[in-house]
Amino acid sequence: MDSDLTRTWRRMRPEPRLLHLDSAAAGRSSWAVLDAVTTHLRAEASDGGYVAAAAAAGTLDTARAHVLELLGWETGTVALVHSAHDALHRLLLGWGADLPVTVLHAAGEYGPNLAVLQELGVGSASVEDRHAGGRHTPDPAAFASAIARQRPDLVHLTALGSHVGTVQPVEEVVAVCHAAGVPVVVDAAQSFGHVDATTSADVVYGTSRKWLAGPRGAGFVAVRTGVAQRLGLSRDPEPREPQEASIAARVGFAAALAQHVDLGPAAVRAGLAARGRRTREQLAELPGWEVVEALDEASATVTLRPPAGVDPAGVRARLIAEDGIVTTAAGVERAPGEMTGPVLRVSPHLDATDADVDRLAAALARQG
């Protein structure tokens, strides 16, 4: 691991008051992000909200360009929205003349995404999961078979789950879908700024607050230019960017993107993968708890199946209250088609150390 990057990342932000192993929930913002938000709010108070917004337009355009750069796209439109959840909602409402009728997804699809489909009356179907309870990796061939049986309007793929740190084979699934002429929408909320987000998918959406450690209340949806033909639509999807929003949060997101690009996305990625690998190695020795991912999975999202009879929600609460350690308890509602029980999610960022993870391991051992 690049300890320079670790030190840099740590120095860029306030000292943690708690041991924060929860970047998959919300990363810790940097001083630059906090300053960007605060400076914008101050400008709103002295110049008026809309004068300040006009002055921030260039900053937000740069943010949009950074999103495209991280996706590896030469052209596309980027709408800044309230959150990843909001992004999916707006994407579907802006899909075309009508909502898509059917969406095909993996068995491990994020539960709240399925709820958005249901709320808007969009039908959805899951590909057969050949690896149920196994490695959490959907089989691209299963997408091909499912599409051949009943062609969906689009395939929705969550590039990295909320419930497991296994990187999904996005490009393989996209290849299969595009061969069949089916557009692919990727939920990059957990993957953006974390694992490689370059993709040939048609639409990608994500959030500010997780691995990029921008503020809460901002997200994006990116639509590749000219996908209408592939999508079989009369025009490219046009998710409406909300005019009334926290522009300060968007400006903070812009600062987080700029810092990420400046640090080097590849270096951040490598650092997070190394931290995830090391974390799993350390936690694999913990009696009773089972690491869900392959130990060398190239992500910093680490999930632990609890010992029999142990409730991760209770463990999470005690870790905060008694040990000052922040993690997430992920219930089956996060991936109702795949999870068989709740897990404890540990998601360190670059500033975490072996000693931090040892501290978590000791706390878990005490609880056990």
| Residues in touch with a copy of itself (CB under 8 A) | 13-18, 20, 22, 25-26, 28-30, 34, 37-38, 41-42, 44-51, 82-86, 93, 119, 207, 209, 215-219, 242-249, 320, 326, 328
Which C-beta is closer to a copy of itself: that of 126 or that of 208? 208
Cβ–Cβ < 8 Å for 273, 309: no
Which C-beta is closer to a copy of itself: that of 84 or that of 106? 84
CB of 166 to a copy of itself, least distance (A): 23
Which C-beta is closer to a copy of itself: that of 17 or that of 149? 17
CB of 306 to a copy of itself, least distance (A): 20
Which C-beta is closer to a copy of itself: that of 217 or that of 265? 217
CB of 165 to a copy of itself, least distance (A): 18
CB of 350 to a copy of itself, least distance (A): 15
Which C-beta is closer to a copy of itself: that of 73 or that of 220? 220
d(CA 82, CA 250): 9
Q: Distance of CA 134 to CAs 11, 41, 166, 294, 308, Å?
A: 39, 48, 11, 10, 18
Which C-beta is closer to a copy of itself: that of 18 or that of 179? 18
CB of 265 to a copy of itself, least distance (A): 21
Q: Residue 9: left if φ>0, alpha if ψ -120 to 50, beta else—which one? A: alpha
Which C-beta is closer to a copy of itself: that of 81 or that of 231? 81
CB of 92 to a copy of itself, least distance (A): 12
CB of 37 to a copy of itself, least distance (A): 6
